[in-house]
Amino acid sequence: MLQLVEQPDPVPGEGQVVIDVEVADTLWLETAVRSGAGQDYWPMRPPYVPGNGVAGRVMRLGAGVDSGLNGRRVVAHTGNEGGYADRAVVAADALSSVPDGLDLTVAAALLHDGPTALALFDITKVSPGDAVVVIGASGGLGVLLVQLGRACGARVVAVARGAKLDRVRELGPDAVIDSEHPDWLAQARATLPAAGADVVLDNVGGGLGEASFALVAPAGRFSGHGTPSGRFAQVDQTTADRHGIVVTGIEAVQMSEDDLKRYTERALRAAVAGTLAPVIGQTFTLDQAGSAHAAIESRAVFGKTLLIARI
């Protein structure tokens, strides 16, 4: 259950700031954690304020914080909680300035998906001309992976389903495959070079992710970082080794704070340059956070889902 409650305004501690939040990011993961899943990794117990990141303006400074930050437009990761709020407290060191002219909504949409997408391309060493398959291309992350693939001159095969296929097509991939078609794997293979895909990026996991491993060419790369289907793809390491395929998973995109900040700033620059343009499929107000989670869980969303705190 998600409820809007009033709390006293937070007071920043030493080295911290309070952000006047305009937009809060949401993640599929937050719906899983809210349902009580993954307590070993995310041991939050209700009542707590969900949300991992916000965009807004710095409105209060704690002791020792550079006064030049006052009023600055910023994005920040809030840790595992605290983002679904109109005031968020974060360490001043964790702030990334939003470039002039870049909308705070776009910055919020990139806060998680942007760094992850850029890191995945680095990890799997995507190069111009590579054939890249994106499983779950309709999600927040999937949309950006398709865009990055196109921007770097890769051949992009986007896998999604149902009514979302037309919207994925608008992103301009070289091929779009319906994962609900019984022959989707053969159809995907037919769009690839004879050896297969250089890179498969699996945002979904489960049986779909596992089946997609068969598309990877010898000496290719497979990233199984997705779980919306209920579990990560389980890939047979012996088979991967035999074909010289490098398999990475969620651990590869769990970044240090420094790396996260570096990639966040890279993602904001990529947005200014037009390489990354998140598709904000739907927004909700803070008091509709429960509806936002319900929409994500029922797979009714496209691209990024955000909460607007300023209404």
Ligand X SMILES: NC(=O)c1ccc[n+]([C@@H]2O[C@H](COP(=O)([O-])OP(=O)(O)OC[C@H]3O[C@@H](n4cnc5c(N)ncnc54)[C@H](OP(=O)(O)O)[C@@H]3O)[C@@H](O)[C@H]2O)c1
Quote the CA–CA distance of 46 and 259 in Å, as a whole number: 30
Quote the CA–CA distance of 108 and 103 in Å, as a whole number: 9
Shortest distance (Å) from residue 33 CB to ligand X: 10
Q: Is 80 helix (H, G, I), strand (E, B) or coil?
A: coil
CB nearer ligand X, residue 58 or residue 201: 201
- Report yes or no: 189 and 196 within 8 Å, Cβ to Cβ: yes
Closest listed residue to residue 180, CA positions, set 164, 167, 168: 164
CB nearer ligand X, residue 56 or residue 226: 226
Closest listed residue to residue 192, CA positions, set 172, 205, 174: 174
Amino acid at 85: A
Using left for φ > 0, alpha for ψ between -120 and 50, and beta otherwise, residue 125 falls in left
User: From the list 34, 57, 87, 161, which residue makes contact with ligand X (rule: CB under 6 A)?
Assistant: 161
Q: Candidates 91-99, 150-158, 211-219, 220-228 — which segment interacts with ligand X by CB under 6 A?
A: 220-228
CB nearer ligand X, residue 16 or residue 223: 223
Name the β-bridge partners of 283. Answer: 306
Q: Which residue's Cβ lies closest to ligand X? A: 139
CB nearer ligand X, residue 12 or residue 114: 114
Binding string, residues 73-112; x marks residues near ligand X by CB under 6 A? ---------------------------------------x
201 contributes a contact to ligand X by CB under 6 A: no
Shortest distance (Å) from residue 61 CB to ligand X: 29
User: From the list 203, 212, 223, 264, which residue makes contact with ligand X (rule: CB under 6 A)?
Assistant: 203
Q: Which two tokens stand for residue 217?
A: 């060419």
Q: Which two tokens stand for residue 189?
A: 């293979």
User: From the list 113, 130, 198, 210, which residue makes contact with ligand X (rule: CB under 6 A)?
Assistant: 113
Quote the CA–CA distance of 214 and 196 in Å, as a whole number: 8
Shortest distance (Å) from residue 10 CB to ligand X: 25
**How many other β-carbons are positioned within 10 Å of the β-carbon of residue 162?**
11
Task: Enter the DSSP assignment of 68.
Answer: G
Shortest distance (Å) from residue 116 CB to ligand X: 3
Binding string, residues 292-311; x marks residues near ligand X by CB under 6 A? ----x--x------------
Q: Candidates 12-20, 38-46, 122-130, 139-147 — which segment interacts with ligand X by CB under 6 A?
A: 139-147
Residues touching ligand X: how many (CB under 6 A)?
27
The footprint of ligand X on residues 21-40 (CB under 6 A) is: 27-29
Q: Is 159 helix (H, G, I), strand (E, B) or coil?
A: strand
Q: Which residues of 122-144 are buried (b: 16+ CB within 10 A; e: fewer)?
A: ebbebeeebbbbbbbbbbbbbbb
Residues forming the site for ligand X (CB under 6 A):
27-29, 112-113, 116, 136, 138-142, 160-161, 164, 203-204, 208, 225-229, 250, 253, 296, 299
